[in-house]
């Protein structure tokens, strides 16, 4: 009888639904859009709209105590649902890095002298060394001149959430912009040349030249204190045509907190020639390698070698073709070196500030112009008879050569000179001011 009564109820319900103009009964259950995940410990319901509340699959079941492990499983399932909703690409649908020959063909269409990463294996090698940078969700990654975008895709495949592609050649922009539209905010493409930011002069800029203020404002990146975390990490390859000039431009900007360094301790992760890398890390006493640029970069940054790659691994575009490797007789130059330059948090002090740091830069340049000369003679030329006393205060020997003084010792020496009344009226300051105005050191 119970079975017969139940069948009669179902027939009546179907008849009522089939009649036009009739509303569904109030007790009819809603159609569920959820997927059910079952386990031996518990049954979970994962809504198709992840932001909605989680419900138990059995509506009338009593609340049960959940173990910590099952609670973590529930949170993980919810996180998966959120990621599926936000990401247009599934975790198994990685971006295609392309074939090496096709990437090479695209790179060779560039009209300027540049180097490109076209080998997917090399791109993955580079990103393997940048895992800690990719996992740093607070920092934005600037990629300089990505070209075919092989490294761009590799960065995103490894989990980079905020990549800004700064491409100077507009022939590469359409493909990069198509990739940008394919993603969900992980990539922003800008027609901009990082190496031409903040040129000397004023007035409107025509892309790819650009003021850093406009770039950072358009990207919504604010200025942060020097003691804050690194806000931006710049990844790219230095142009060999003006590699040394760019290193000087950046070190002036760093000490004076101009250009990109106005926004905080911007970190550089760049491929540079082996010759220039060896100069950057040369130690006092190396009269051929240790130069003013060495002392200033070591004073300002932690320098870390991440990887060395032969020149032949890169595609080079030039008027004459070939690898176009800069010649070097005194120092090895067989590789491009991936180097991390992280500005020191304690660079500036109560004495050394962005306002007087250009004086320090000029002092180091003058001292290391002749690395076998005695430092006391240089100090006496600025303040006759005061060199010995200054060396004693700095803890340096009287016969020390300029090429034997460590970067931090130069910094200490400058701070003593800056506080000294005898040196405050020295012609050194006037000469530095004239040199700065004449050469346009400020960026």
The full DSSP string for 141-164 is EEEE--TT-HHHHHHHHTT-S-EE
| Ramachandran angles phi, psi of 159, nearest 5° | 110, 5
Count Cβ atoms below 10 Å from residue 73 Cβ, excluding itself: 17
Omega before residue 80 within 30° of 0, cis: no
DSSP at 210: B
**Residue 117 annotated as lining a ligand binding site:** yes
**Residue 180 annotated as lining a ligand binding site:** no
Half-sphere exposure of 88 (CA within 13 A, CB side): 11
DSSP at 170: G
* Interaxial angle between packed helices 357-367 and 407-419, expressed in degrees from 0 to 180 and rounded to the nearest 10: 120
| Euclidean distance between CA atoms 49 and 105, whole angstroms | 44
Nearest to 358 by CA among 235, 265, 258, 237: 258
Nearest 5°: the CA angle 245, 349, 434 is 45
Query: Is residue 443 within 8 Å of residue 259, measured between CB atoms?
Result: yes
Count Cβ atoms below 10 Å from residue 145 Cβ, excluding itself: 23
Contacts 24+ apart (CB under 8 A), 319-328: 319/113, 324/113, 324/240, 326/240, 326/243, 326/273, 326/275, 328/273, 328/274, 328/275
Known binding-site residue numbers for S-adenosyl-L-methionine: 117, 167, 193
Known binding-site residue numbers: 117, 167, 193
């Amino acid at each position: 009888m119970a079975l017969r009564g139940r069948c009669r109820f179902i027939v009546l319900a179907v008849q009522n639904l089939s009649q036009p103009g009739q509303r569904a009964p109030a007790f009819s259950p809603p159609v569920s859009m959820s997927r059910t995940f079952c386990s031996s410990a518990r049954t979970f319901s994962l809504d198709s709209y992840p932001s909605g509340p989680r419900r138990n699959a059995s509506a009338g079941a009593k609340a049960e105590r959940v173990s910590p492990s099952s609670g973590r499983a529930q949170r993980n399932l919810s996180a998966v649902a959120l990621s599926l909703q936000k990401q247009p690409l599934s975790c198994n649908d990685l971006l295609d890095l392309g074939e090496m020959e096709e990437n090479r063909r695209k790179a060779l269409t560039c009209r300027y002298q540049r180097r490109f990463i076209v080998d997917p294996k090399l791109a993955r090698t580079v990103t393997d060394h940048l895992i800690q940078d990719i996992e740093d969700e607070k920092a934005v990654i600037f990629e300089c001149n990505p070209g075919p975008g092989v490294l761009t895709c590799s960065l995103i495949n490894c989990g980079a959430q905020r990549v800004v592609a700064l491409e100077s050649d507009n022939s590469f922009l359409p493909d990069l912009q198509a990739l940008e539209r394919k993603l969900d905010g992980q990539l922003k493409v800008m027609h901009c040349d990082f190496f031409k930011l903040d040129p000397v002069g004023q007035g409107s800029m025509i892309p790819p030249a650009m003021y850093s203020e406009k770039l950072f404002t358009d990207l919504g990146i604010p200025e942060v204190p020097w003691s804050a975390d690194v806000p931006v990490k710049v990844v790219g390859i230095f142009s060999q045509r003006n590699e040394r000039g760019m290193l000087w431009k950046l070190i002036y900007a760093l000490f004076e907190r101009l250009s990109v360094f106005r926004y905080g301790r911007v970190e550089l992760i760049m491929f540079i020639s082996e010759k220039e890398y060896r100069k950057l890390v040369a130690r006092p006493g190396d009269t051929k390698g240790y130069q003013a640029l060495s002392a200033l970069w070591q004073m300002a940054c932690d320098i870390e070698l991440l990887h060395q790659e032969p020149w032949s691994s890169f595609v080079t575009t030039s008027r004459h073709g070939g690898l176009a490797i800069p010649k070097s007789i005194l120092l090895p130059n067989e590789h491009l070196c991936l180097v991390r330059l992280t500005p020191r948090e304690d660079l500036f002090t109560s004495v050394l500030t962005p306002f007087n740091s250009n004086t320090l830069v000029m002092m180091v340049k003058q001292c290391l112009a002749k690395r076998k000369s005695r430092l006391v003679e240089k100090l006496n030329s600025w303040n006759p008879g005061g060199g010995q006393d200054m060396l004693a205060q700095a803890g340096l020997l009287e016969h020390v050569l300029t090429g034997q003084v460590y970067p931090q010792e130069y910094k200490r020496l400058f701070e003593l000179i800056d506080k000294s009344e005898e040196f405050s009226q020295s012609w050194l300051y006037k000469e530095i001011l004239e040199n700065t105005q004449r050469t346009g050191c400020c960026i």
